[in-house]
Every structure is written in C-alpha cells, then in structure tokens.
Structure 1
Amino acid sequence: MSSIQELQKMIHENAIDQGWWESEREFGTLIALCHSELSEALEEIRKGHGIDETYYTDSGKLVGVPSELADVVIRVMDICEHYGINLESTILEKHEYNKNRPFKHGNKIF
C-alpha cells in the first residue's frame, strides 16, 4: 500500500505526463477546479444517484459521488505536490489538533 506522500507524488507525475503542468497554473484556478469536482458530486445526488453509487458511462468513464470525491482528493494531492506541501504529515498534525478541540467548536449550526 502506498503512503499518502507516495500517492501524491504519483498523482502529480501523472498530471505532468498528461500535460496539465505545461505552463504555470494560477492557484485560484486550481482551487476552482477542486470546487468543480465537489459540485459534480452534488450533481450526482441531484440526478438521483446514491451517495455510494458508482457506475460507468458508455465510454467506460467511472462516475458517481465516490468518483467525484476521488477527483477532489486527486486535485488536492496534485496541488500539494506541485507546491511542495507534505499533505500526509499535515493531515496527521491537523488530526491531532482536531482531537483536542471542544465539542462542536465554533457553535455553528453546520
């Protein structure tokens, strides 16, 4: 099994090989692309598909909420590798911090 850090490197290398980094990409555009993947996940629900439903188009493309959420993670990993962010260590550090936060910190409804 690959570590998050190893997977991050593989994902970024694939993005380079596929031509997505032939020129520098604006950070705001990269974030907007993450948003678009989340919107695509929401659209799957709006179309009536189940949250855990995966299916394939006629061309063989994997689609559904799980696939769109995977696309979000792939985009985030690609961004992190490009900018030299160790996502794995940051996730672990943030998780440790979150474990000590107060119950429903921030007192927000959602």
Structure 2
Amino acid sequence: MEGAYACASPEEMQAIEGIRAAQRLVHKTATDAGWYTDPKTGQQIERNFGEVVALMHSELSEALEADRKGIKRDDKLPWHDARAVEFADCVIRIFDTSAALGFDLAAAILDKNRFNRERSDHKLANRAAEGGKKY
C-alpha cells in the first residue's frame, strides 16, 4: 500500500486522526454557519474554489500585516499573538474547503512531509551550495 498509511508510525497515525478530527470540526462550524447555503434560497451550494483560495490568501496577508505593523495581540483574541490567529484562520479555511471537496488532507500532509524529508533541495548542504534555495 502506498501513501500515508504504508508503514505509518503511531505518531503519524495520531497526526492523521487529529487532522481529520479538526477538519470535521471546522467544516461542521462552517456548514452550521450557513457558508454552504444560499442565503436567498436556503438551498445547498458549492463554494467557488477561486474565491475560497483568495480568502486563504487574505488570512496570510493579514498575518503579514500584523507582523509588519508590529501588532502583538489579536484584537478579538488578545491572549493570542495576532499572527497566530491569522494563521489559524488560514488553516481553518484550508481544512473546511478540503473537507467540502472530500480531500484526505491528513494523508496528503503526511505524504508531502515524508517527501520533503527526502528532497535533495531541502538538505542543508544543497541549500548552502551555489544556486541552492535560500528560503
């Protein structure tokens, strides 16, 4: 068997289940809030993919702006760093959209992380070399 479940360690399986639980939770929150319902007709809708990706971008831009302006605390959740809250907003949008589209995001994250561990362009020596990735 290929992918996330092939030789998954207990820690990896725990991560998969945690991500899946978070994905279900945020999708239920969005669904219950009516983000998948036409407000005029009450009919179920499919969200526009480009629109939700743009909203993901906007959350990252808000994190960048908080950092750029030195905003330390979030205005709605002041016990959290503003950048962390904007990252959370982005992750929530990603988890929600992935759930709506039926993506196995947990398996994709695990597989991509495994792949990244072995990439030659992610090795410190190759990054330090001429033409290597600096960031």
Q: TM-score, normalised by structure 2?
A: 0.68
Q: Deviations over 1:22-77 (max 9, x none)?
A: 1221100010000000000011012212xxx434x3xxx22610000000100000
Is the 8 Å Cα contact of residues 37 and 69 (structure 1) preserved in structure 2? yes
Task: Identify the residue that residue 99 of structure 2 maps to in structure 1.
Answer: 81
Partner Cα distance (2:73, 2:103) in 1: 30
Aligned length: 102
Higher relative contact order (CA 8 A, sep 6+): 1
**Percentage of pairs with the same residue:** 42
Q: What letter is aligned with 2:51?
A: T
When the two chains are superposed, the root-mean-square deviation of aligned CA atoms in Å is 1.9
| Greater than 2 Å deviation, 4+ residue runs | 106-110
Partner Cα distance (1:92, 1:38) in 2: 22
Is the 8 Å Cα contact of residues 54 and 62 (structure 1) preserved in structure 2? yes
Instruction: Give 1:80 shift.
Output: 0.6
Task: Identify the residue that residue 91 of structure 1 maps to in structure 2.
Answer: 109
Q: Which runs of 5+ in 2 are unaligned?
A: 1-13, 38-44
**Does the alignment pair 1:107 with 2:132?**
yes
**Which structure has the greater CA radius of gyration?**
2
Q: TM-score, normalised by structure 1?
A: 0.83
**Does the alignment pair 1:5 with 2:23?**
no
Q: Which runs of 5+ in 1 are unaligned?
A: none
Q: What letter is aligned with 1:13?
A: K
Task: Identify the residue that residue 18 of structure 1 maps to in structure 2.
Answer: 33
